[in-house]
Amino acid sequence: MNTTKISFLCLMITGLMSTSCTKDFDEINSDPNGFTTASDGSLFNGIIQSLVWTGNEQFYIYNEILYKQTQLAALTSEAWGNAPLGIEGLWENYYSTLTQIRELERRFNGKDTATPGLDNMKAMLKIVLACKTFKMTDMFGDMPFSEAGYGFQNLELLRPAYDRQRDIYLFLLEELKWADEHIDPADIKEPFATFATFDRLFNGDLMKWRKFANSLRLRHALRMSEKEPQAGGSVLKDIIENNKPVLTGYDLAVPLLESACLWPAAMGFKNEALNWSFREHKNLRMGSKLWQQLSLHDSTNGSGIFDPRAYIFFETNKDNQWKPYPQIPDAGTPPSGGNPYGEHRDDNANFSFKGDCLYSPFNYFLIRDENYVPIILITGAEVHFIKAEAWLRGIGVPADPSKADIEYMNGINASVDWWKMVAGNSKLPLSGISFSEKFTIPSNLGAASVLNQFGPWNASTTEEKLVFIYTQRWIDAFRQPAEAWALARRTGKTPRDGAPLNYFRLSYPASEATYNTQQWAAAIQQQGGSDAPQAKIWWVP
């Protein structure tokens, strides 16, 4: 890391020991009970806050790169090309937070191991660290980790070495296993009781933390299974066969709709960067590839739509028509035009005004609601799709097509109902207009209408069933473009037009080449000598 940044972060940590973050999370940072553990809670609160996506991350990485690469949407114009801004933002967010994590680790390691609830606090920290680190290594590959974040404790580690992605994966999976095994929901005495008041992810619900840990284990064990089938399979086996608690979307016919999400209003912040990233970007529209998975035909009146998520993810163009932008446009394709993401649409009288918007934009509620639309970490629906693939392919468990079908159908049920729940709670921040006041999802559309087209009985081979699983997991990840990108890179079988995916990683930030030159150069060499997006990271087949 940049030594100037390290020095600044040292000062920042010192300040955090005596004060707390105040931006957006004012109420969370208050300490109503005055316990001495509040400083630990304040640090943890800041770490949770760091999970919020920044504007540059959304604008320059998700909107400008990943929606196009995954073909979850169509990029109608590549007018920016400022990926380095988003990359530097990702790097800065992670490593500035890592110093806070290392400080909490130091404090926890210095406490009496007999302190009630200490293992619970350690487990929560390990889970958040795993969540953030998996995200980063899945984007960049090898990265500074085991030596990183300690510069304020040890000046010899100001320029940390890069760990291999494989080693990071194996370490984090073990840490998550430790967390699952050491969380004790009955151990809620001080200092945990006060520490838990700063937890705005699950509000101190330790069973939800266990479910989060095991759900992350499932996701990343499956991801590495193409390269490490035995190691990945052993994790899947442990969780599935031992019925470890995970986030659940559907329990047979009962909708639980569990998820790990950052819910702005509940957590005390406004996701203002969300609309900024779309309002200033303007260039994303519904693409033809996803449209083909939501509608039986291209009728612009929407008569072919069989998936209710079409109404939640997108809306009609300026002429009230459903019109996708071609995934592979030709020279004669008219430009998109319009301003469907402008804040003028908060006003009821101006809601329908989208300018010269020729193609269906993202639904305005989904990208404007800064209070009730969540930032998704992982959902119960995704867990069902992971289990479905494991049972179908026999990864860690014996192949069982019947169990795969059940998990797959639970995944569709959970995804459809979860997205309908999100839409049903959505409101515009200025006017308070609700989603249901502007959009009506036809009553005949639901999980059943999706299953009519994508039910397992419609697939005649195991390979077709597998493609169904990937397709539905890809659709469900509509607002998780990084997860859809991981799925596309691992499988090569998500819906796609044109040439195969050839964008496998983000290049390292320029600051690393400048301030951590030797370690940066060594990392590039150990990954094949290229820092280009075309260089595959470790788990990509």
pLDDT digit string (tens) for 74-90? 999 876 778 999 999 99
Residue 291 pLDDT exceeds 60: yes
Task: Provide the pLDDT for residue 15.
Answer: 37
Over range 122-132, report the average pLDDT: 98
Half-sphere exposure of 2 (CA within 13 A, CB side): 12
In this prediction, residue 481 has a pLDDT band, given cuts at 50, 70 and 90, of very high
> In this structure, how many other beta carbons lie within 10 angstroms of the beta carbon of residue 398?
9
In a domain, 108, yes or no: yes
Give Rg (Cα) of the chain: 23
Over range 193-213, report the average pLDDT: 96
Task: Provide the pLDDT for residue 524.
Answer: 97
CATH of the domain at 388: 1.25.40.390
In this prediction, residue 187 has a pLDDT band, given cuts at 50, 70 and 90, of confident
Residue 29 pLDDT exceeds 50: no
Task: Provide the pLDDT for residue 9.
Answer: 42
- DSSP classification of residue 28: H
Q: In this predicted model, which residue has the larger pLDDT, 116 or 104? A: 104
Task: Provide the pLDDT for residue 476.
Answer: 98
Q: How confident is the model over 398-442, as pLDDT tens digits?
A: 999 999 999 999 999 999 999 999 999 999 999 999 999 999 999
In a domain, 290, yes or no: no
Tell me the sheet residues that pair with 376: 261
Q: How confident is the model over 207-237, as pLDDT tens digits?
A: 999 999 999 999 999 999 999 999 999 999 9
Q: Considering the entire predicted model, what is its pTM? A: 0.92
Residue 44 · residue 199 · CB < 8 Å: yes
Tell me the sheet residues that pair with 262: 375
In a domain, 296, yes or no: no
Report the SS3 class of residue 75: strand
Residue 57 pLDDT exceeds 50: yes
Residue 33 pLDDT exceeds 80: no
Q: How confident is the model over 505-541, as pLDDT tens digits?
A: 999 999 999 999 999 999 999 999 999 999 999 999 9
Task: Tell me the percentage of the chain whose pLDDT exceeds 70.
Answer: 92
Per DSSP, helices labelled H in 268-363 are 272-279, 288-294, 309-313
In this prediction, residue 113 has a pLDDT band, given cuts at 50, 70 and 90, of low
Q: CA separation (Å) from 129 to 29, 122, 248, 369?
A: 20, 11, 22, 28
In a domain, 478, yes or no: yes
Q: Which residue, 412, 359, 419, 360, is CA-closest to 382?
A: 412
Residue 316 · residue 305 · CB < 8 Å: no
Mean pLDDT of the chain: 92
In a domain, 246, yes or no: yes
Structural domain count, the chain: 1
Task: Provide the pLDDT for residue 1.
Answer: 46
Q: Which residue, 288, 356, 349, 346, is CA-closest to 317?
A: 356
In a domain, 320, yes or no: no
Task: Provide the pLDDT for residue 152.
Answer: 79
Q: Which domain holds residue 419?
A: 3-273+369-499+506-513
Tell me the sheet residues that pair with 362: 314
In a domain, 323, yes or no: no
Residue 471 pLDDT exceeds 90: yes
Over range 128-152, report the average pLDDT: 96
In a domain, 293, yes or no: no
